[in-house]
Structure 1
Amino acid sequence: MAKTGLVYVAAALAEIAGCFGFWLWLRQGRSALWLLPALLSLALFAWLLTLVDSAAAGRAYAAYGGVYIAASLAWLWAVEGVRPDRWDCIGAVICLIGAALMLLGPRAA
């Protein structure tokens, strides 16, 4: 379970960094050179999700979504300097609870 959590956090950071590179290029007028590290980061994100031990890719991706939401709010605060409000935090907690239910819930044999 710890491995899955670490993979999800690393994947979220890679995905957010990759998307942020595109954001900088398209929305902030930065150099197109930002696209190379952005694409590499997105490729790393996709590879990392293949490391999750799950019988169903869709479930692994769905559970990852909760981690992605929480990591996006951390990025918002750490990189963009915008502090998430209480509603952001409450929403992230709800999403993390949902992710935990998907990952840890009992499954029929």
Structure 2
Amino acid sequence: MTSAIYLAAALAEIAGCFAFWAWMKLGRSAWWIAPGMVSLALFAFLLTRVDSDAAGRAYAAYGGVYILSSLLWLWLVEHRAPDRWDMIGATMCIVGAGVILLAPRSAL
């Protein structure tokens, strides 16, 4: 369930940020801002659904998912293939996110 929430959050965040990118960098209408803001609010809401005892840890683990999802966006939406360095970096981030999220923790 956590991975599905992270993937949905990544899609919402990337779509929201892309709406601003489209407006500011691609010359699209300022009307792109409204759905972008809704998408960013959905992103924030979704991260609160992650089963974690600490917000910072949930956000840190999410970072790896965000990086991989951003590269998928690059490839599928912007039609630019990630290079090997993108993929090496994303793999390192996903491994790091897994360590953060799944490591055994001692009770304090």
- TM-score normalised by the shorter chain: which range applies? over 0.9
Q: Deviations over 1:47-106 (max 9, x none)?
A: 000000111000000000000000000000000000000110010000000000011101
Say which SS state the counterpart of residue 81 (structure 2) adopts. coil
The residue aligned with 1:68 is 66
Residues 1:96 and 2:89 aligned together: no
Amino acid at match of 2:65: V
Q: Deviations over 1:5-33 (max 9, x none)?
A: 00000000000000000000011111011
Give the alignment's TM-score, normalised by structure 1: 0.97
CA separation in 2, counterparts of 1:72 and 1:100? 18
The residue aligned with 1:106 is 104
The residue aligned with 2:56 is 58
Structure 2 unaligned spans of 5+: none
Q: Percent identity?
A: 66
- After superposing on structure 2, the runs of 4+ consecutive aligned residues of structure 1 that deviate more than 2 Å are none
Structure 1 unaligned spans of 5+: none
1:24 counterpart (16, 22, 26) = 22
| TM alignment of 1:6-45, pairs within 5 A | 6-45=4-43
Give the alignment's TM-score, normalised by structure 2: 0.98
